[in-house]
Amino acid sequence: MKKVLIANRGEIAVRIIRACRELRLPTVAVYSLADKDAMHVRLADQRVCIGAAPSKDSYLNIPAVLSACKLTGADAVHPGFGFLAENSDFARGCADQGIKFIGPSPESMDLLGNKARAKATMREAGVPVIPGSTGTVPDVLLAKQIALRIGYPIMVKASAGGGGRGIRVAHTEEELEFAFKTARQEAIACFGDGEIYMEKFLINPRHIEVQILADEHGNVIHLGERDCSVQRRNQKMIEESPSPAPMMDAQLRERMGEAAKKAVKAADYCNAGTIEFLVDANGDFYFMEMNTRVQVEHPVTEMVTGLDIVKQQIAIAQGNPLPVTQEQVQMKGHSIECRINAEDPKNDFCPSPGVVKTTYMPGGMGVRVDSAVYAGYKIPPYYDSMIAKVIVHGATREEAILKMRSALADFYVDGISTNLEYQRALLQNEDFTAGNYNIGFLERVMKEGRL
């Protein structure tokens, strides 16, 4: 591996560039016309414009990205998250051109990217799965039969879904018909794939995921769990490691870690990935999906383990064995991440693109900010609204919360609306500080007017 092209933008592109610098690997940034002044473009060793502002014309344009590799001599591609990160056709295109895709094989991506097939594979491997359809559901009539078998409430989900899209919940047969049709319509619009599957809807579980690393030599380790239960409209807002959930004792952590490793081996998976579970109040956990890429929230795992996940992705792609065994993985302290978005919480979280006039970002011991924003930067309206991630690490959860409160108090952005005040309020909420939350937490406290 001699040169890495980053097929992404924003803070994750900057994050990957920094990892490559530490590995003495030259980098290539690709960018749309809207991103010509973006930070990742400024930091990379080379840069190539690959199209117009809309994602379909640039960051999702596979021929343009592959042409940029050929033009610059890049022999490896890191896809980051989003865009082409879980696109098996892109991974195959890279392989056809002799370019190393820093991620799993296209075959693993195909298997795990289809939620219904992934569940079937996990079920066969002995990984607990949520009761539901054994495959995709072609029509409403069969959907109603399945719902009668497993009982309401039912969740209808897009097989090719992600990011909270293509998901509906039905509590009755009447609601199911509408949920099925609207989920399918949204799935076709967002993913170009209308396949639907169904599963039992667990009422207010915890959303807990396990980070894994797997190399080409058959070694698989897990790096503990992240609690991602603080969500608004299925979008994660705060993540932390380890989980403060009362049921998460050493025994459950061990069982979930081993189940995650079993899932990885069943899919013949290589590189970094995340197994997402739902955990109920009894401590029963169920496989939900696997993300075949680096996660937005990967920094909290890095903070508690001391392992650089992006550098590990590159090392695995280079054919190197994992540097540690499972027994050598040590979790130290507590880490929390808050996502800072350019949006207006007072206006139904409407996106707030525009020019950042001034900004001050927090620092200090145990404080990390992953961002690509600077004073004078114009945030385009075409992409995800996240502009920064604030990550803190403390010896205890209480210390981490106090450190995050201080960091968010220091964070200043002028010229656009952000969710900073909203995140500050979350960190003061008594239920959050007590660890008493689940995936229904934000909806509940907002209805009660406590946020």
Report the catalytic residues. 293
318 within 8 A of 312, measured Cβ to Cβ = no
DSSP state of 98: T
Report which secondary-structure segment, H or E, holds 225.
Answer: strand 220-232
Residue whose C-alpha is closest to residue 274's, from 245, 294, 296: 294
Helices (H) and strands (E) in the chain, counts: 15, 22
3-class state of residue 113 by DSSP: helix
| b/e 387-418 (16+ beta carbons within 10 angstroms → b) | bbbbbbbbeebeebbebbbebbeebebebbbb
Distance CA(446)–CA(439), nearest Å, equals 13
Pull the structure tokens for residue 144: 């109603």
Distance CA(346)–CA(422), nearest Å, equals 9
Pull the structure tokens for residue 382: 């075409």
DSSP state of 45: S
DSSP state of 151: -
Which residue is associated with the tokens 């592959």? 66
Q: What is the 3-state secondary structure (H, E, C) of 308-365?
A: CHHHHHHHHHCCCCCCCCHHHCCCCCEEEEEEEECEEHHHCCEECCEECCEEECCCCC
Give Cβ neighbours of residue 11 (< 8 Å, ≥ 6 apart): 370, 371, 372, 386, 387, 388, 389
Provide the edge-to-edge strand list for the sheet that holds 367-371. 285-291, 271-279, 206-214, 220-232, 235-241, 334-341, 386-394, 367-371
